[in-house]
A = this chain, B = another copy of it.
Amino acid sequence: MTMPSGRRTRLSPDERREQLLDLGVELLAERTLDELSIDLLAEKAGISRGLLFHYFKNKNDFHREVVKRAADDLIKRTEPNPDDDALTQLVASLQAYVDYVQTNYDTYLLLVRGAGGGNADLREIADNTRAHMAARLVESAAKMGIPATDRAQLIARGCLAFAEEIVIAWVPDPKIERDDLIASLSRSMLAIISEFSPPEVDLPAELPFEN
């Protein structure tokens, strides 16, 4: 995304703020959060430093909003199509997830691990993102007949961590093919779901993967 440098645009303050956040996410892809300064954003957006403080209270506020935008992005891009059946949803979500992590590796690492640095805001964003995605998985499993019990919710969190760890390890060192990765993730999760599905539920016997 490029922004018209120094040219006046007719955006509303809200639209302008959204645009600045998009720019922030874009800039974050190539640097650490520490390096993402208000000065840099002002320069790249072609507006004054003073004006930026109209949109963001301070640097921390700006950082939090940028990371939150990145998290919202991940959630949106992996959102399953509600018209699809549960299996298609699971596989499509995993594919979108792997694509997201591959394209936004450093941002994703910041999103899920940066919180370890003691920044409470980042930790909260990471927790909320995981909670949202886990809730979505529980919903998908419910479509396959698994009641949304406390156990199902715990297992869903575990499944997310499972996928997270594997994809984070895979991207910088892809020892297996992408298709094998997606199939392995899907099959593992389905195996877990099957293990906890009540006997009367018929899970898809034919998975869309080779062995």
Contacts and interface: CB of A to CB of B under 8 A. Distances in A.
B166 A158 contact: yes
Interface string A98-128: 0000000000000001111110000000000
A166 B176 contact: no
Nearest to A187: B195
A184 B155 contact: yes
Nearest to A150: B175
A191 B184 contact: no
A33 interface: no
A41 interface: no
A48 interface: no
Given A191-B194, A192-B188, A196-B187, A158 B154 contact: no
Given A113-B116, A162-B162, A164-B161, A169 B154 contact: yes
A151 interface: yes
A159 B115 CA distance: 22
Nearest to A199: B211
A157 interface: yes
Interface of A: 113-118, 150-151, 154-155, 157-166, 169-170, 175-176, 180-181, 184, 187-188, 190-192, 194-196
12 contacts: A116-B116, A117-B118, A151-B176, A154-B176, A155-B166, A155-B184, A158-B188, A161-B164, A188-B195, A191-B191, A191-B195, A192-B192
